[in-house]
Amino acid sequence: MKKILLIVLAVVAVAVLVAGFIWRQQSGFTKVLTAKIARQDLATVVSGTGQIKPKTYANLGATAMGRITHLYVKEGDLVKKGQTVATIENIQQEANVTGQQAAIAAAQTDIAADVAAEKTAEANIEKAKADLEQKRLDWEREQGLYTAGIVSKSDYDVKKDAYDTDVATLNQCMAALNQAKAQTDSLRGHLKTQIATLRSFQNALDLTMAVAPFDGIVTNEPVREGETVVEGIQNTEGSTFMTLADMSVITAEVKVDETDIVNIRIGQSVDVSVDALPGKVFKGHVTLAGDQALLRSTGQATLQSTTGTEEAKDFKVIVTLDEPSSDLRPGLSATAKITTAHKANTLALPIQALTMHNPDDDKVKGGVQAATTSSAPAAKSAPSQGVYVVDKDKSGKLRVKFVPVTTGITGATDIEVLTGLTEGQEIVIGPYKTLRSLKSNALVKRDTVKPITPAGGNS
């Protein structure tokens, strides 16, 4: 029993000695997490949320008042340009068109009859001219005979009367032709009026039919057959038959925070994901970056807002998808990730390694600031942005030194290094509390224990 007790006491004593040695070895050291500067591809991404929208869509509204008699399509149907999709009662309009068409046909018949009369009058003129020529020859011959005393005065007078009669007949035929032409011109004028009236009646009939203005899909149909619709008047909106969307060009209309809109340009590449289609990414590009700020709470433009309350604002950005998909539907919730900057094989460091450091802090030793040679208070230095670089001192111990750096584009977890560091240098990346209190020339020790990452967090 004594032996066992002695063995236990010996083990405890050794453990205490080892713990003491380790404590002495680690005293004065700060445990830090480190990483090495390396090259990588960096991309700055701006996110925005919104919904899928077709580039072209139209609400087909009622252009006449009446009861809906037919709805030829339903929500989700594909339609072609020029296809009739709905009609309202149009008995009066059809009757007007039919009656006017009959009137035009009758007018055209009358014109044809007058044209025939013109041709008859022209034939009568030709006959009258031939008769007149014959009578002229007979009279001239009779004049010679009468002068020679061969024929009597009475025979001469008969020939002259016949000639004068044919002259009058020719004039009559020519007047009849002019009258027929005037009648035809009048009928043609009336025909133009009747055709114009027919166009008016036809337009009134067309207004009772809704026609697809382009190829598309029916996305909304708020009415049913038998309901009465009315057209819009002045500022009053009329009834809507349905909404058509042209899905050949699809866009994602998203809202971007005001702090990010300044970096967005037309043509930047975008990855669009849709909540209803997990795992799918649609490629696109920015086609519009809004200039008008929208209040986040109401979506109203700031210029239209009458309140002076300061609140967060968004800007509208429209992304056009490079390849439309039949899986997409208007109104689906979408998230757009816009690549505003990209650099390949650039020097980068983890964002969490950056810290603000004031050189005055390094002058404090043991809680008392070092004396200055001047009696006047020294000017305070401005803090600078940088990182703590880990390196060995002459004795082989690890120490840190603050190095100011300038940075470039920011990625998801890393940021570009422009100046101050070189590839392969080891820097302190955490923990956050340690970084805030760390001083230049401090002794450090690499912490090999991997920090616990909260569920759902980024590693």
pLDDT tens string 358-413: 776 666 544 444 444 444 555 666 788 999 999 988 888 899 999 999 999 988 89
Radius of gyration of the chain (CA): 50
pTM higher than the cut 0.75: no
- Looking at the DSSP bridge assignments, the partners of residue 384 are 357
Same domain for 189 and 283? no
Give residue 236's pLDDT: 80
Containing structural domain, residue 193: 91-206
Same domain for 151 and 258? no
Distance CA 320, CA 248 (A): 11
Q: Does 235 map to a domain?
A: no
Question: SS3 for 412?
Answer: coil
Distance CA 132, CA 168 (A): 9
Give residue 378's pLDDT: 56
Band (303; pLDDT cuts 50, 70, 90): confident
Q: Does 377 map to a domain?
A: no
Give residue 302's pLDDT: 75
Q: What is the pLDDT of residues 95-145, one digit of tens each?
A: 999 999 999 999 999 899 888 888 888 898 888 888 888 888 887 787 887
Q: Above 60 in pLDDT, residue 279?
A: yes
Distance CA 81, CA 212 (A): 5
Give residue 71's pLDDT: 95
Residue 314 to residues 51, 116, 256, 262, 286, Cα–Cα distance (Å)? 15, 77, 5, 12, 16
Q: Domain ends where: 289, 312, 343?
A: 343
Q: Domain ends where: 311, 343, 375?
A: 343
- Own/partner contacts of 130-133, CB < 8 Å, gap of 24 or more, are 131/166, 131/169, 132/163, 132/166, 132/167, 132/169, 132/170
Band (233; pLDDT cuts 50, 70, 90): confident
Q: Does 228 map to a domain?
A: no
Per the CB < 8 A criterion, the answer to whether 274 and 251 are in contact is: no
Six token digits for residue 144? 């010679």
Q: Above 50 in pLDDT, residue 94?
A: yes
Give residue 304's pLDDT: 66
Q: How many helices (H) and strands (E) does the chain have?
A: 4, 22
Same domain for 95 and 197? yes
